[in-house]
Structure 1
Amino acid sequence: HGYPKLKKYEHLVGNLGKSWTDQRQLFAKYPMAILATTNCALIPIEAYKDRMFTTGPVRLPGVKHISGYDFTELIKRAEGLPEVKEEESKVTLWTGYSRSAILRNAKRIKELIEEGKIRRIFLIGGCDSPLKEMEYFRELARKLPKDVIILTYACGKYRLNDLDLGDIEGLPRLMDLGQCNDAIVAIDLLPDLAKLLNMKPEELPLTIVLSWFEQKAVSILLGLLYLGVKGIYLAPRLPAWVNEDILKVLKERYEIKLVSTPESDFKELLRG
């Protein structure tokens, strides 16, 4: 885990499963208490409804809601369930780099960029879906050269976060910034990197590729546009609310670009 203070808690195992799309199968398979904190929670099936809880702004029919921060009932439910059998995993995923963790390496990142050892930084993230075309992001990550750093966030990361992409002189080539609710981390990070390299945010050696599915991705895009970031790539398809008039404005004012295939987009994406 990338957060040093969480490493001391052995029971914080990490991530289970992939994106939101497999939750019904996953929650039904394992005897565990579940706390839903995001709108990505699906209406539960009977197999696990009685051990699911919601909190914050989330509500689900037939599911107990916890107000405030008193999780006593959730904990008791978890303690009363059978122990989950440990399964051997072939993949170790790292998470929790976040803004502070990356900025701790700011000096080294600057040196590697100035020395030409980091050619470009890719920010790949957004929403995931069960669609086959979402494999675009995995194929893109595989094709990127070894002098490229990839930052991921939100469910889009699950398309590539199990890839072993190595490192650049000790700096991991693949670093996860968190979930969609942590998108502010990515937005806050851009001015920090720009200041570090004495550039404007739009001048950074940065390529942004966003995937689409629901409304939080819209707020992420608007935040980036507000910062003056141009040339963002949208993949693999446009959100439903973008009609021809809106797309025209996005292209003309913000140089929004649409992707096609990793093979055909590869060279242009590296140029930014």
Structure 2
Amino acid sequence: MTYEVEEEAPAPPSGPVRRGRVPWRKLVVMPVVLAVVLVVTYVWISNARLDTIAENSLAGGNVQLRLWQHVKLTAISTFWVLLIAVPLGIALTRRGLSRAAPVATAVANVGQATPAIGLLALLVIWLGIGPSTAIVGMVVYAVLPVLSNTVAGLRAIDPQLVEAARGIGMSATARLLRVELPLAVPLILAGVRTALVLNVGTATLATFGGGGGLGDLITSGIQTQRMAVLVLGSVLTVVLALLVDWLASLAELALTPRGLGVG
């Protein structure tokens, strides 16, 4: 007599399986590294011998003010970059304006190819000194990545998908919002991420146009030869750029539709 041995089915997992879209290392490593850098810098400056000039540069909430000015310059300029570049990129992929895309990209490329300090100097002559002049310069300098990535992302979509959407009766607006833009999101967000980091770096030059920001600390440290002031301004700028890039990468992962991996 033979017996058939039935294989036991594998036991179900003891708890619910969660598949997070963001790896835990991506959530933890960068904030920890930035926190360590800030703590080390704070300890070093706290134990350094500062003279009256250095103390005056770092006291009275001056550091917090310059940091806030830098964040505000970056946020406002990036807002205007998105407001200009994304709609313009969409328009340049439509039938009526598609031929103008090379011209618009070339104009935007001229803005980024121009040295930032030279562009800011020209804008100061034209618009005068103030934060608004710095913001205009930052927008001109950072519009290219978002514009070119928007155009490239929309043009990379398989035409058959757009035709299928048209075939089921979708309007042009519905095709754009429900088919084209979601598929172009990875490239658009990559351009936004690049523009954010560019704006953080370019905002340090706002000091030459009266825009404030962390560039004030850097130039003050150079002019007065106070190493602590120079190091603090530089470290805060680098930390802010890395923090913005990290946050943008998380947003890139979160906003990218499932099935469209972010490189």
TM bracket (short chain): under 0.3
Higher relative contact order (CA 8 A, sep 6+): 2
Larger Cα Rg: Structure 1 or Structure 2?
A: 2
Higher strand share: 1
TM-score, normalised via structure 1 length: 0.22
Higher helix share: 2
